Amino acid sequence: MSFKQPRSVLVVIYDQHHRVLVMQRLDDANFWQSVTGSMEPDEQPFDTALREVLEETGIDVATLGYQLVDCAITNQYDIRPAWRHRYAPGVTTNTEYVFCLQVKSGQTIALSEHSDYLWLPWREAAQKVWSQTNREAIKRLAKAWGEDL
């Protein structure tokens, strides 16, 4: 069995109206999130982010002329107990690299790993996402837009 790497990316996708894309996980209807995904061996965070955006949304960043931005934020968090079997024995924490991506309003989304998606104002998106690191990434982005938190 091949274990997942305890390193991942989080990509907050938003449009020019500051609506944030959130997606509902297939395996947990109460779990909404931004694009996330584990790094492959020998893969760099930026490359993982590009791959995961394409896999989870169908957005080809380079082809569409978008710019993926490294937020220069790294988070550490405990892996959910229900998911620890995916990692090598004894691995309980994950390192997450944060990115953001602005797309055009009305950008087509092609889901492959999620059951539904919503474009929400940043406050609603921050409330809807399950993980604290996802919530904080959305709030940091809103602060960069000059929004009052």
User: Nearest-CA neighbor of 94 among 4, 7, 1, 2?
Assistant: 7
Element (H, E) at 40: none
Q: Give the bridge partners for 11, in sequence order.
A: 35, 99
147 labeled binding residue = no
56 labeled binding residue = yes
128 labeled binding residue = no
113 labeled binding residue = yes
52 labeled binding residue = yes
Phi/psi for 25 (5° steps) reads -65, 145
Element (H, E) at 137: helix 132-144
25 labeled binding residue = yes
Q: Which residues belong to the annotated binding site?
A: 4, 25, 36, 52, 56, 113, 131
Give the residue ranges of the annotated binding site for substrate: 4, 25, 36, 131
Instruction: Output the known binding site for Mg(2+).
Output: 52, 56, 113
